[in-house]
Amino acid sequence: MLKEPSDLSTIVNLGEMRKRHDSKEEKYMRDRDMMRGERSRDGRPQGRLSRPLLIIIIVALFLGVTFYGPFDLSFLSLSGKHYVIIIDAGSTGSRIHVFSLKEAGMDGYKLLKDDFYPLEPGLSSYGKDPKKAAESLKPLLDFAYKKVPNESHEQTIVKVKATAGLRILSEEVANNILTEVEEYVKKNYKFKVLPKLAQIMDGTDEGVFAWISLNYFLDNWEPVPMKTAALDLGGGSFQLVFETENPDQLPTEAKGNVHKMPVAGMARNVYVKSYLGLGLKEARVKLLKKGEGEVLSSPCLPEKYTGDWEHGGSTYKIQGSSTSSYDNCLTSVKTTFEGAITPINELLTKDFYAFSYIYDKAKDGGLVSGVEGAVVTVADFTRIAKEACKAQLVDQRFQCLDTVYINYLFSHAFKMPEDFKMHVVKKVNGEEISWALGAAFREMDERKV
């Protein structure tokens, strides 16, 4: 049975934001008629206001302002250009996107520019000091203040959306941080303040927004089934999203993750699953805690390595093991995460895109170089995992653990064959893949409601 999403119904009103795919001739005729006014059969122009009607409207507006005060028309822009600020408050760091968007008539919105600036650590690192957590965002907000023209500050939406890092904290600690963040922004900046300025974003939203952004950059808004699947591996969680053409054939435990939603002119069955606690950094914690004693030992670390690792406000003393190897690391990963992920055969029919930490680790292993990434196979990840574990490089202490975990996800959890091909990317057509753009589109749609 398909879920009607509680919050997802407003995620993508793509009747507003989708791109039209008329032929060039149709677009030319449509745009010409909009400019000239389409003529009726008797030769009189349509689509223009008559002079008497225009006078009536102007007088009505004047009287309305005189007796009731100015209308709130802040959602309009004479230039059609808008700014939306999204702060991605992740588990390992906070990243700001200052989106410049332009209205494109019936074509929805067009992304003009994404000014991006990251910093570390993330908000979750300040669990004991919420005020310091809020103040940590100052460099990001100052960056946005300079990027948005002064005359647009008060009309510019700013949203701070926390992901897995704050989801993992206790509700009280997370809420204290979010409250301080909201108060800090209100007190120090003149951006437009809307309800829930700072909030924890549901993992389902995160996954769908990233999928929307990916398909937008791929220009996949044709009203036909979308073949694209997206896997976004973060620090605290990972998200898997794709349009399923056969929801009834999904495994029983996966059917509850299918949501009916409008995307690109069609009602679609979108499979979206967020695996909280299975992001790369949280996977490290679970694997390292299999060790005993004050110093945590793991066969996934270089044998001669000893040191400290900080994550989520905690410091772990860690070291390698005399049994460090690819096979022993894979065994440790299997026993830790066995059964946590549901394999889905339909994934093997998709145009599969993997990004975030998957790109980073593929780059560290030499699989990809430029930000546009490359097409690689599951076998390629198996190879670099074996190479990393064999090299035992102390200065790349987590490369064995991380690549074995990623290889486990593909080969064992999702049961992809070794020759399965995927796109491993950081950017598509020059734009960085992130859920933030999808979130910005939703903010613009909600602003019009």
Instruction: Please identify every residue annotated as catalytic.
Output: 206
Measure the CA–CA gap between 226 and 214, rounded to whole angstroms. 12
Measure the CA–CA gap between 398 and 400, rounded to whole angstroms. 6
Listed residue (297, 314, 315, 316) closest to 401, CA to CA: 297
Strand order in the sheet with 306-311: 295-297, 314-319, 306-311
Contact between 257 and 269 (Cβ < 8 Å): no
The most distant pair of C-alpha atoms in the chain lies apart, rounded to whole Å, by 91
Q: What does the buried/exposed string (b/e) look like for 141-150 if buried means 16 or more CB atoms within 10 Å of the residue's CB?
A: bebbbebbee
Q: Is-cis flag, bond preceding 121, omega within 30?
A: yes
Question: Around 228, how many Cα atoms within 13 Å sit in the side-chain half-sphere?
Answer: 21
Name the CA dihedral angle for 336, 339, 341, 342, rounded to a multiple of 10 degrees. 170
Listed residue (165, 168, 201, 141) closest to 92, CA to CA: 165
Which residues touch 379 (CB under 8 Å, ≥6 apart)?
A: 418, 419
Alpha carbon distances (Å) from 420 to 88, 352, 410: 31, 9, 9
What tokens appear for 152 in the block?
């647009």
Q: Show contacts of 41-45: CB within 8 Å, 24+ apart.
A: none
Contact between 386 and 316 (Cβ < 8 Å): no
Contact between 264 and 17 (Cβ < 8 Å): no
Measure the CA–CA gap between 214 and 12, rounded to whole angstroms. 14
Contact between 283 and 337 (Cβ < 8 Å): yes
Listed residue (435, 12, 449, 431) closest to 201, CA to CA: 435
